[in-house]
């Protein structure tokens, strides 16, 4: 990749795509600024080298209109507090006024453009809109791995008109994901959960060629269990993917990859914080109950395997983690990954939330800012926002 250290920054207008799509409460206040903090090393480096920094991001889904609910004004204020310097906030992300501000910006200063998605041209990767953005900078830096799977004007289109480099966050994400995918250290493990097999079909297919063992949990395990002939009661299941699940199980056998499924499960008749639960073997699931977490024996087996692993990729919870009766499997797996000596990469989403909730971030090698981008990269898909950086 073309890294930022390869660029001459002093006096240059650095148009940088960041991912500041932060969770906000109903009052428009920031709930979690992790993504913003993750971009600080790149931002501070540009400013320290005398670059004139112009930041662009989206927030939410305003659907191509200037919805004040999704303004970035509070993000600019918060960034200024983190940097301890003022951040100039613009009323738009393109136009003559914005261009003039970009030209008059002093070295070592930073301005933030208004929400990119206030313009339909952003998500449509409209050529004219990309050119308007490019007119604001001399150099383009993409440090938004979380949006790298989107071929939008600010993540891909603008790179057609400016010299393009990867920011430190982008570089680090790609480096870490590549390191676990290509690791020669065995055993190499994947832990996959979440609700649906459909969301991770390509991921499982790709990982079966790169890993030694895959642990399956969450709702997606039900489809595999049913494909093996198990009764799963009223549990979530993708019946249309039973043949695909059988194919993946056969492919795992052919490639000598150990694909482990739950041996016992936590059941309930309803999904609620006060649900009455039962633990049974996967061979004893009654017709009137749902599988909502992996059981204690499965947790024990999975922990034993985690402790033997040299590299671990984890994406997706082991159960309905949002509700206390079904959170134990995810929590126990989280503790095990944190306690292991393996190089561990958490692929964003609910898995990252679990790590944050338990205060174990420092025990994990890398927590991806990606989500959808991470999943697609692990599937082996070339991401537009990564490709423009030269990978």
Average pLDDT of span 46-69: 93
Give a three-class secondary structure readout of the chain. CCEHHHCCCCCCEEEEECCCCCCECCCCCECCCHHHHHHHHHHHHHHHCCCEEEEECCCCCCCCCCCHHHCCHHHHHHHHHHHCCCCEECCCCCCHHHHHHHHHCCCCCEEECCCHHHCHHHHCCCHHHHHHHHCCCCEEEECCHHHCCCCCCCCCHHHHCCCEEECHHHHHHHHHHHHHHCCCCCCEEEEECCCCCHHHHHHHHHHCCCCCEEEECCCHHHHHHHHCCCCCCCCCCCHHHHHHHHHHHHHHHHCCCEEECCCEEEEECCCCCCCCCEEEECCCCCCCCEEEEECHHHHHHHHHHHHHCCEEEEECCCCCCCCHHHCHHHHHHHHHHHHCCCEEEECCHHHHHHHHHCCCHHHCCEECCCCHHHHHHHHCCCCHHHHCCCC
User: Does pLDDT of 52 surpass 90?
Assistant: yes
pLDDT at residue 372 greater than cutoff 90: no
Percent of the chain with pLDDT over 70: 100
Sheet holding 343-346, edge to edge: 258-260, 213-216, 188-192, 311-315, 343-346, 366-367
Average pLDDT over residues 82-107: 97
Query: pLDDT category, 182, cuts 50, 70, 90?
Result: confident
Instruction: Judge whether 4-169 and 183-379 match in fold.
Output: yes
Question: What does the chain come to in residues?
Answer: 391
pLDDT band at residue 183 under the 50/70/90 scheme = confident
Domain topology for 4-169: Rossmann fold (3.40.50)
In this predicted structure, the answer to whether residue 64 has a pLDDT above a threshold of 80 is no
| Averaged pLDDT for residues 246-269 | 96
Domain locations along the chain: 4-169, 183-379
Cβ neighbour number for residue 202 with a 10 Å cutoff? 15
Window from 163-177, 259-273, 330-344, 361-375 with minimum mean pLDDT: 361-375
Banded model confidence at residue 300, pLDDT cuts 50, 70, 90? very high
> 183-379: which CATH topology?
Rossmann fold (3.40.50)
What is the reported pLDDT for 28?
86
Task: Express each pLDDT in 142-179 by its tens digit.
Answer: 999 999 999 999 999 999 999 999 999 999 999 999 98
Per-residue pLDDT tens digits for 312-351: 999 999 999 999 999 999 999 999 999 999 999 998 677 8
Query: How does pLDDT run across 97-135, given as a tens digit for each residue?
Result: 999 999 999 999 999 999 999 999 999 999 999 999 999
Averaged pLDDT, 26-44: 92
Q: What predicted TM-score, i.e. pTM, was given to this entire model?
A: 0.87
């Amino acid at each position: 990749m073309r890294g930022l250290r390869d660029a001459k920054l002093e006096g240059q207008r650095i148009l940088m795509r960041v991912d500041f799509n932060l969770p906000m409460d109903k009052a428009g206040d920031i709930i979690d600024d992790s993504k913003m903090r993750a971009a600080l090393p790149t931002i501070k480096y540009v400013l320290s080298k005398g670059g004139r920094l112009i930041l662009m991001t989206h927030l939410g889904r305003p659907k191509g209109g200037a919805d004040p609910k999704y303004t970035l004004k509070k993000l600019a204020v918060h960034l200024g507090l983190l940097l301890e310097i003022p951040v100039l906030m613009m009323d738009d992300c393109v136009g003559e006024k914005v261009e003039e501000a970009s030209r008059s910006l002093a070295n070592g200063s930073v301005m933030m453009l208004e929400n990119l998605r206030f313009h339909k041209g952003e998500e449509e990767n409209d050529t004219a809109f990309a050119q308007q953005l490019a007119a604001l900078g001399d150099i383009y830096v993409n440090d938004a791995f979380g949006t790298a799977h989107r071929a939008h004007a600010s993540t891909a289109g603008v790179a057609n008109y400016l010299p393009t480099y990867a920011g430190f966050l982008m570089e680090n994400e790609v480096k870490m994901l590549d390191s676990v995918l290509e690791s020669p250290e065995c055993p190499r493990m994947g832990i996959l959960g979440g609700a649906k097999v459909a969301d991770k079909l390509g991921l499982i297919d790709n990982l079966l060629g790169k890993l030694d063992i895959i642990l399956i949990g969450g709702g997606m395990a039900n489809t595999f269990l049913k494909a093996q002939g198990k009764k799963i009661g009223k549990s979530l299941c993708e019946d249309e993917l039973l043949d695909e699940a059988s194919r993946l199980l056969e492919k795992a056998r052919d490639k000598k990859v150990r694909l482990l499924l739950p041996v016992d499960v936590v059941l309930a008749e309803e999904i609620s914080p006060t649900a009455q639960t039962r633990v049974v073997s996967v061979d004893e699931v009654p017709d009137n109950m749902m599988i909502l977490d992996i059981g204690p024996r499965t947790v024990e087996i999975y922990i034993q395997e985690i402790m033997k692993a040299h590299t671990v990729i984890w994406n997706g919870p082991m159960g309905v983690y949002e509700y206390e009766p079904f959170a134990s499997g995810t929590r126990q797996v989280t503790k095990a990954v944190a306690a292991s000596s393996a190089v561990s990469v958490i692929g964003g989403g609910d898995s990252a939330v679990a790590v944050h909730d338990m205060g174990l971030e420092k025990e994990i090698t890398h927590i991806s800012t990606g989500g959808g981008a991470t999943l697609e990269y692990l599937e082996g898909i070339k991401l537009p926002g990564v490709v423009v950086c030269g990978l």
